């Protein structure tokens, strides 16, 4: 009888531990699903899986090329430098909306596709990404600057 009591005690003392492990596993799985949902780009027309693999925020030139250019993923590329800077060289497919004009030109920006912004060094593009997110745009990616772009071996259009 005493040995049965010890076995029963051992089983009951491990039960809270087992429950805790199960809660952690289930919680981790739910967390992964929520993170994936938060980071997914709603781009059902083209390669939504590729876009969802990059967290919104900063995107490297190589990631941009691999996800958006190589996969021909629909997106809007916005150069937020001045028109003079834009004329000196820009990334193919970009439109020019200077960051100082961005808030007043939001109606020119597509709402149903990812938005990628860049500038010269990354400062204005970070500001532009914040302006866009604060205005309610989703799927906004900051490519940084053309300096990063050319340093990575990519060319500019002139």
d(CA 110, CA 121) in angstroms, rounded, equals: 24
Which residue numbers are catalytic? Answer: 119
Q: Mind giving me the DSSP string for 60-112?
A: -HHHHIIIIITTT---EEEE-S-HHHHHT-B-TT-EE--HHHHGGGGGGS-SS
**58: Cβ–Cβ under 8 A, 6 or more apart, which residues?**
141, 142, 144
């Amino acid at each position: 009888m005493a040995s049965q009591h010890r076995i029963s005690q051992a089983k009951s003392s491990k039960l809270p531990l087992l429950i805790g492990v199960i809660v952690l596993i289930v919680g981790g799985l739910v967390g992964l699903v929520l993170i994936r949902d938060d980071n997914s780009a709603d781009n059902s027309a083209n390669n939504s899986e590729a876009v969802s693999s990059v967290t919104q925020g900063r995107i490297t030139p190589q990631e941009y090329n691999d996800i958006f250019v190589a996969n021909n993923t629909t997106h809007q590329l916005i150069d937020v430098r001045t028109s003079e800077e834009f004329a000196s060289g820009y990334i193919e497919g970009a439109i020019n909306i200077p960051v100082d004009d961005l808030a007043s030109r939001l109606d020119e920006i597509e709402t149903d596709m990812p938005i990628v912004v860049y500038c010269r060094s990354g400062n204005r593009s970070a500001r532009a990404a914040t302006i866009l997110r604060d205005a309610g745009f989703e799927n906004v990616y900051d490519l940084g600057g053309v300096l990063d772009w050319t340093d990575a071996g990519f060319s500019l259009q002139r």
